[in-house]
A and B are shown apart, each in its own frame.
Chain A
Amino acid sequence: MANLILLIFIVTLFFLVSAWRLVTYIQILALQGVMLFLVALLSLTQMHWANFAFILTETVIVKAVIIPVFLAYILKRNNITREAEPLVPTFVSLVLMMMLVIMIFFLSYASGYAILDNLFFVVALSTIFTGLYIIMTRRKIITHVMGFLVIENGVFILSLAVGNEMPMMVNMGVLLDMFAGVLTLGIFINKIGDVFKDGDVSNLRRLKD
Chain B
Amino acid sequence: MLKIYFICSFLIGTALAFNRFRPVKIALLSLFVTLQGIMTLHVIRNRGTGFWYFNADSLAVIFITILFFISALSIYHSFAYLKWRQKEARERNFYFAAMVILVAALTCAYCANHIAITWVFIEITTIAASFLIYYLRTDLALEGTWKYIFVCTISITFVFIGILLLGIAAGPAGITDLTYAQLTANASRLDPFWTKMAFIFIFTGFTAKAGLFPMYTAGIDAKDKSPSPAGALFASGIMNVGFCGIFRTYQFIALTSSAEWARSVLVISATISIFIAAVYMMKVDNYKRMLAYSSIEHMGIIMLGLAMGGIGVFAALFHLVLHSFIKAGIFYQTGITYRVFGSKLVSETGGYFRISVSGSMVLLLGFFCVTAVPPSGLFISEFLIFTEMFRSGYIWLMLAVMALLTVIIWAFGRKIMKVIFTPVNGFDYENAERPALSESLSQFAIILFIMIMGVCPPQPVLDIIHAAAGTLAR
Residue-wise, chain A 100-124 has the 8 Å CB interface mask toward B (1 for contact) of: 0000000000010101000000000
Residue-wise, chain B 138-167 has the 8 Å CB interface mask toward A (1 for contact) of: 011011111101100110110011011001
Is A179 at the interface (CB under 8 A from chain B)? yes
Residue from A155, A169, A178 within 8 A of B157 (CB atoms)? A155
Q: Which of A51-59, A77-85, A158-166 sits within the interface?
A: A158-166
Known: A162-B171, A179-B123, A192-B146. A207 touches B225 (CB 8 A): yes
Residues of chain B within 8 A (CB-CB) of A165 are: 167, 171, 176
Residue-wise, chain A 168-208 has the 8 Å CB interface mask toward B (1 for contact) of: 11001101101100110010001010011000000010110
Residue from B147, B167, B176, B289 within 8 A of A209 (CB atoms)? B289
A111 to chain B, nearest CB (A): 7
Tally of contacts, chain A with chain B, CB under 8 A:
88
Complexed CA–CA distance, A194 and B123 (Å)? 28
* Contact call B164/A207, Cβ cutoff below 8 A: no
Complexed CA–CA distance, A62 and B123 (Å)? 19
Known: A179-B156, A182-B127, A207-B221. A169 touches B149 (CB 8 A): no
User: Which secondary structure characterizes the binding site on chain B?
Assistant: helix
Complexed CA–CA distance, A135 and B151 (Å)? 12
Complexed CA–CA distance, A27 and B317 (Å)? 50
Residue from A111, A115, A176, A204 within 8 A of B143 (CB atoms)? A204
| Residues of B in contact, count (CB < 8 Å) | 39
* Contact call B161/A209, Cβ cutoff below 8 A: no
* Contact call A186/B280, Cβ cutoff below 8 A: no
Complexed CA–CA distance, A148 and B283 (Å)? 33
* Contact call B154/A111, Cβ cutoff below 8 A: no
Complexed CA–CA distance, A161 and B157 (Å)? 16
Residues of chain A within 8 A (CB-CB) of B139 are: 195-196, 206
A107 to chain B, nearest CB (A): 12
* Contact call B284/A209, Cβ cutoff below 8 A: yes
* Contact call A111/B289, Cβ cutoff below 8 A: no
Residues of chain A within 8 A (CB-CB) of B156 are: 176, 179
A170 to chain B, nearest CB (A): 10
Residues of chain A within 8 A (CB-CB) of B154 are: 135, 148, 151
Is A63 at the interface (CB under 8 A from chain B)? no
Complexed CA–CA distance, A141 and B145 (Å)? 13
Residue from B116, B140, B161, B221 within 8 A of A158 (CB atoms)? B161
Residues of chain B within 8 A (CB-CB) of A166 are: 167, 178
B17 to chain A, nearest CB (A): 16
Known: A111-B193, A128-B161, A207-B143. A179 touches B167 (CB 8 A): no
Known: A207-B143, A207-B225. A155 touches B150 (CB 8 A): no
Tell me which of B119, B157, B194 has the highest count of chain A C-beta atoms within 10 A of its own C-beta. B157
Given contacts A155-B161, A162-B164, A207-B140, 10 further A-B pairs with CB under 8 A are A141-B146, A144-B150, A155-B157, A165-B167, A172-B116, A179-B153, A182-B149, A204-B143, A204-B146, A209-B284
Residues of B at under 8 Å CB distance from A?
Answer: 116, 119-120, 123, 126-127, 139-140, 142-147, 149-150, 153-154, 156-157, 160-161, 163-164, 167-168, 171, 176, 178, 193-194, 221, 224-225, 280, 283-284, 286, 289
